[in-house]
Amino acid sequence: MSEGTLQNNAAAVDRREIDALDVTLLRTMLSVMLRIRLFERRVADLASSGEIRCPVHLYVGQEAIATAVCMALHTDDFVLSTHRSHGHYIAKGGDLNRLMAELFGKRTGCSGGRGGSMHLVDSSVGYLASVPIVAGTIPVAVGAALSARLRRSKQVSVAFFGDGATDEGVFYESINLAALYKLPILFVCENNLFSTHMPVDKRLANVTISNTVKGFQMPAIRVDGNNVGQVYRESRRLVEAMRGGEGPALLECMTYRWLAHVGPTEDLDVGFRKKQDVEYWRKRCPIESTRSSLLEREAITELEYERLIEMEQDNVEKSLIFASESSYPLPEELYEGLYG
């Protein structure tokens, strides 16, 4: 099955599950998705101008997944992320000021200015780490789930990863261990159809990733990753089952990144995807389907929506001011934090 076939099989966002959500919850989801989108757009500008120098892997187009999954979690639940980390951090309740400061390498950043875009840490909201090594945080997330089981807490662990991570042996080792010990972990595969520049059908004999893990005797479901209602419904159901001791599950979320694998461009010059593919997926915008649902239910007006954008944009600009006014780490602090 080709990438194009996968695209053509993806129908327009079915709003029935979005329309079924409580409007208060949906408004909150809209705010979070806008926060992620506007933050990433600002970071793209800053990366283009050279003001942010660390590599940035932007989450534009995939906002519904992090938002919906994290809405199903508690603050003390664990999240582990990837090189494309900003959306997960924001959705889990991370601080915009500390995130922006980290991208600038400032000491007020969530990792003290040492990590940059791909090494975010904020235990205060249960965000244990993001790591750029493909599949690197999946076994760590399993370890966090094992910790929760041994401590008999009701905490759940979530591992976010891309479809490329399923090429790694440690993915299957982690799936097996989690299934064997019935650990409370949700594996969230954000299948955006490409591992860097390689289409999924050029790497996998079975392009339906959720089917490859069903042999481990655990629930594995494929959903529309641009449908915040569908992702939330399944995430909440699976997480609640885990709290009841039913063990791990995998959620494969079909989506598409609008921008380059890394950086603020669209990768169209690389030649591995077509402009019409990007335009097709832009029409499946998760923010637009959420906004439309609220407007049609008269739960928000156009003016309120514009004010919401202004408010979130203001928060992003304030984070940039915070980062600009923060200082860099001191040379004598270089070796701090190496050991627990």
pLDDT in tens, 274-310: 788 888 888 999 999 999 999 999 999 999 999 999 9
β 78-81/157-162 pair status:
parallel
175 closest CA partner among 141, 129, 150 = 141
Residue 95 is encoded by which pair of tokens? 């601080």
Query: 160 by DSSP, 3-state: which?
Result: strand
Residue 201 is encoded by which pair of tokens? 């059908």
Q: What is the pLDDT of residues 5-34, one digit of tens each?
A: 344 444 578 899 999 999 999 999 999 999
pLDDT at 11: 55
Please say whether the beta carbons of 12 and 290 come within 8 A: no
Please say whether the beta carbons of 87 and 32 come within 8 A: no
Does CATH place domain 3-325 in 3.40.50.970? yes
Q: What is the pLDDT of residues 102-148, one digit of tens each?
A: 999 999 999 999 999 999 999 999 999 999 999 999 999 999 999 99
187: which residues sit within 8 A by CB, 6+ positions away? 138, 141, 159, 161, 174, 175, 178, 213, 248, 249, 250, 251
Mean pLDDT of 216-230: 96
Residue with tokens 């097996």: 176
Query: Lowest mean pLDDT: which of 6-15, 207-216, 315-324?
Result: 6-15
Residue 332 is encoded by which pair of tokens? 């004598």
291 closest CA partner among 278, 302, 280, 283 = 302
DSSP string, 189-237: EEE-SEETTEEGGGT-SS--HHHHTGGGSS-EEEEETT-HHHHHHHHHH
pTM of the model: 0.93
Cα–Cα distance, 335 to 333 (Å, whole number): 6
Task: Name the β-bridge partners of 254.
Answer: 191, 224
Please say whether the beta carbons of 221 and 210 come within 8 A: yes
- Give how far the C-alpha of residue 320 lies from the chain's centroid of Cα atoms, to the nearest Å: 22
Residue 231 is encoded by which pair of tokens? 């992702």
Q: What is the pLDDT of residues 162-183, one digit of tens each?
A: 999 999 999 999 999 999 999 9
194 pLDDT above the threshold of 90: no
